Amino acid sequence: MPDLQKPAAIPEFPVCHVRGGTSTGLILAREALPADEALVEELLRHLMGVPLQGEWPGNTQITGLGRGGPTSNKVFIVERRPGETRMISTLAQLAAGKSAIDWSVNCGNLSAALPLYALQRGWLRPEDGGQIEIFNSNTQTTMYARLGFGDGRLLSDTRIPGVNGLYPGVDLFLDKPVGAKTGALFPTWQRIDLLDGVAATCIDVAVPMIILRAADLGKTGEEPPAELDADRPFKSRLLELMVQGGLLMGLRDREGRLLSADELRRSETIPKVCIVSPARHGGDIATRYFTPQNAHPSLAVSGGCCLAAACLAEGTVAHAMLARAPVLGEEKGEYPLAIENPAGVLETLINARQVAGELLIDGAAYRRSAQILLQGHTPLYNASAALIAALPQGQ
Question: Domains of the chain, with CATH numbers?
Answer: 12-172+371-390 (3.10.310.10), 193-367 (3.10.310.10)
CA 122 to chain centre: 25
For residues 388 and 379, give the distance between their C-alpha atoms in angstroms, rounded to a whole number.
11
β-bridge mates for residue 352, sequence order? 333, 361
Contact between 25 and 49 under an 8 Å Cβ cutoff? The reply is no
pLDDT of 100-110, one tens digit each? 999 988 898 99
Q: What is the pLDDT of residue 262?
A: 96
Phi, psi for 33 (deg, rounded to 5): -95, 155
Of the candidates 40, 46, 55, the one whose C-alpha atom is nearest the C-alpha of residue 100 is: 55
Percentages helix, strand, coil for the chain, rounded to the nearest 5? 20, 35, 40
Q: What is the pLDDT of residue 4?
A: 55
**Phi-psi label, residue 176: left if phi above 0, alpha if psi -120 to 50, beta otherwise:** left
Q: What is the pLDDT of residue 35?
A: 94
Contact between 61 and 110 under an 8 Å Cβ cutoff? The reply is no
Average pLDDT, 10 consecutive residues per value, the chain (395 residues): 61 97 96 96 97 93 93 96 84 95 91 96 88 91 90 91 92 87 96 98 96 98 97 97 98 91 93 97 97 92 94 97 92 93 91 92 90 96 94 68
